Structure formats: structure tokens, C-alpha cells
Amino acid sequence: MDRIVIQGGKALQGRIPISGAKNAALTLMPCALLTDEPLTLRNLPRLADVDSFGHLLNELGVATSVEGARKGEFGRVMTFRAANIASTVAPYDIVRKMRASILVLGPLLARAGEATVSLPGGCAIGNRPIDLHLKALQALGAEIELAAGYVKATAPPGGLTGGTISFPTVSVGATENALMTAVLAKGTTVIENAAREPEITDLAQCLIAMGAEIEGLRSDTLTVHGKDRLHGATYAVMPDRIETGSYACAAMLTGGSLELVGAREDSMHAILSGLADAGALIEFKPGAIKVTGDGAIKPLSISTAPFPAFPTDMQAQFMAMLSLARGTSLLTETIFENRYMHVPELSRMGADIEVRGRSAVVRGVEGLVGAPVMATDLRASMSLVLAGLAAKGETQVNRIYHLDRGYERLEEKLQAVGAEIERVGGD
């Protein structure tokens, strides 16, 4: 199995192109199921999860074609066409690889009148039930059956009908499924307490480009006026705010300066605010955000929460950064109950971290020391890479298949700004 080897202690300097957002891409791809016309997605990142989702769509009858990026560019252009739905079953052997597979449930139900989807997999960061997804579909008239590890949704004979979906708690995935289902339901659907993440807005804008009528973008109440059909479109995936924040942490940890090309300020206010509070110099340039660290990291108190608050997907990276802060930081995880699995690995590198239930006390140390470490999930993997970039000596990050799910050509991007990092094949 491959591993990443890092010789740390080098200040990173230069420009890093930001790829299309993983979380947005995996939400936009199932939109292809909503029309028999082509949907072309630009700036689609080259990631294992994107490939897996493409294979799943192929299983359902979606034809795909790929246009590679020009030399030196990242991302790619893919066209999806679901002229006919060949199957309404999303099988376990594909779905188990990533949780986002549940997002074919709504589009299949809306277009074909039925869908059978295996209960999803993904990172082992805690319990992530799909009950809110199912209640949203039921609010539009679907009948739901759970059996043998699969969920089967069936539309009534007259088709789905608009209604009011009121989420008791904010759920990004459930909001996405509800939105994609409602665009083909008869009448008007109101989604209350909807998630407000930028990826939700990206999805809504793609659906609007396909002919959907959606009101209330960027708010917690979305109103959808259902259409008989949607048409094809060409749409560019938004830049990845989590990748942007991750490389910004690299600049801080190494006392370097990185210009993050393509990054968008409007999608990441909480992340940028946290970086500024930690001492980062942040400059907004045309089409880029420049982050500079002077090595003097200030401690923070951060609690994760749904957008527009601080994202859970940046908690691990900030923990790595704050392990070198001049003082004690407090991180509180409110989204997932098992998202501190990187703590023992960071501790192996010399970090001083104490977990207290949902909170972690991070006492800044003078320096980190390279060590062999084991990645446990996607964002934890990145936290270990970040720690390795700042650590004295050699760090080996094992089980890096997690990184391939969420960071496009990680080593290449970091090598270009001065990091001594390479991928080494396993035995």
C-alpha cells in the first residue's frame, strides 16, 4: 500500500491552484439523472470519490465522456447523459465506498418513480443516519421500505407531489436529496431549516441552469416550483473551500506564503476568520487568496457547526496548526461524535492534545518531530500531512487512499511550492 514520505521544516512559497470542490462535485454529478439531455461539468476534480461516483452512474445507465485538462492544469471536463435509466438499483459494492452515493436516491425516485439504494459507507467518523433523507422523500409522497441493508423508495401512481419539508436539524445531504427530488415533483415544495452550505447553493444554481425554478438561495428556506422535465446544461464546479483552508494551514505551519489560485472568499468566511485570528496575513487578490504565516501562531477557541459557522471538515487541519500555537486552544466538535481519531497520531509526533468528550484541549508545543503515522479518514489524513510539513525529520503517512478521495494531486501541488514530499509504493 502506498504511503507519503515528508521531510519537514521547509517554508512553503508560491502558488497552488485550487481544484473543484469534492463535496460540490459529488452533489452535482447525480443531477445528470434528472434529465435525458447531456450535463457537462467543468472543473471536476480528479479524485477517487469522483471516479467511484462515475462508476455508480454508469451502473444506472448514465453514459460518460471525459475531456482531460491541458498540460499544467488540474481538473477535467466530464459529460453525463442519462438518455434512459437502465437500472434503479445502486448496489452495495459501489455504495459502500462513499457516503455520497445516497444522493442518487432522490434523483432516481423523481425521474424513474422508484429507487433502491444500499445504505452508504464513507469515512468512519461517526454515526450519520439517513432518516432525514427518507422523511423528506415521504413528505413528497414516497413510500419507503428498509430491508437487507437497502432502502427502497417508490413514488405513488400519480407521481410525487410538492409539500413542506421541515428538518428538525440541519442536514447537508438531506437538503441536497430533497432539492433534487422536488425539482421534478408536481407543485411547490418548501424546504425549511435547509442547510446553507455553499455546496447547496452550487447545486441549486446548477439545477436552475437545467431549468429548475428555485427561490431562497443562501437562506434556510428553499422554495421549489416543480417542473415536468429539466434540460441539459454546462456548469463549472465551485472551488474547494476545504482544500483552500488546508493549504492555508500549511502556510501557517511552515511560516510560508501561499497564493491559493481560484479560491473564493464568499464560501469560507469562518475559515478565513479563524486563520486571521491565529495570526495569518490574508490578502485578497484578483482570482486568488494569499495566506502568509510568520511562525507565531496564536491559540484559538473554535466550535464546529453548520455553515456559516466553522466547518467540521477543517477541524483536524486547524488542530494540526494549533499544535504549534503559543498557548492553549480549545476545539469542540458538534457535528460528528468520532472525529478525533487523528489525535493519537498527532501525539506520536509530539503534539500535546487532551480529548475531553466532544472537546479537545490543544497545548502548543515548541516543535513537532517526524514519525510513522496512520491515516484514519480523509481530513485526518490531511492533518498528518500538515504536521509532517512542519515537523523536524521524516514523517511517513500510511493508508493514504483516504487522501486520494479528497485532494487532487496533493504531492504535485506541494512539491511545486517547495515541500519535500513524495509518494512511495508499498511492499
Task: List, as own/partner pairs, every contact residues 98-102 make where C-beta atoms lie below 8 angstroms and the sequence separation is at least 24, other chains included.
Answer: 98/26, 98/49, 98/52, 98/53, 98/122, 98/405, 99/123, 99/128, 99/173, 100/26, 100/27, 100/49, 100/53, 100/173, 101/52, 101/53, 101/56, 102/130, 102/133, 102/173, 102/177
Q: Is the peptide bond before 308 cis (omega within 30 degrees of 0)?
A: yes
User: Do strands 281-285 and 76-81 pair parallel, antiparallel, or not at all (unpaired)?
Assistant: unpaired
- Measured CA to CA, the distance from residue 411 to residue 94 in angstroms comes to 27
Active site residue 206: no
Take residue 117 and report the three cell numbers written for it: 439504494
State the cell numbers at 165: 419539508
Which triple of cell numbers denotes residue 231?
A: 434540460
Q: Which residues contact 5 (CB under 8 A, 6 or more apart)?
A: 394, 395, 396, 397, 421, 422, 423, 424
Cα–Cα distance list, 135 to 178, 190, 289 (Å): 9, 14, 40
Edge-first strand listing for the sheet containing 221-225? 164-166, 188-192, 221-225, 213-215
Q: Are 416 and 14 in contact, with CB atoms under 8 Å apart?
A: yes
Q: List phi, psi (to 5°) of 173.
A: -60, -40
Query: Rounded CA gap, 90 and 93, in Å?
Result: 9
Given 31, 123, 206, 249, which residue is catalytic? 123
Q: Are 382 and 246 in contact (CB under 8 A)?
A: yes
**Which three cell numbers, joined as nine digits, stand for 158?**
400519480
Active site residues: 123
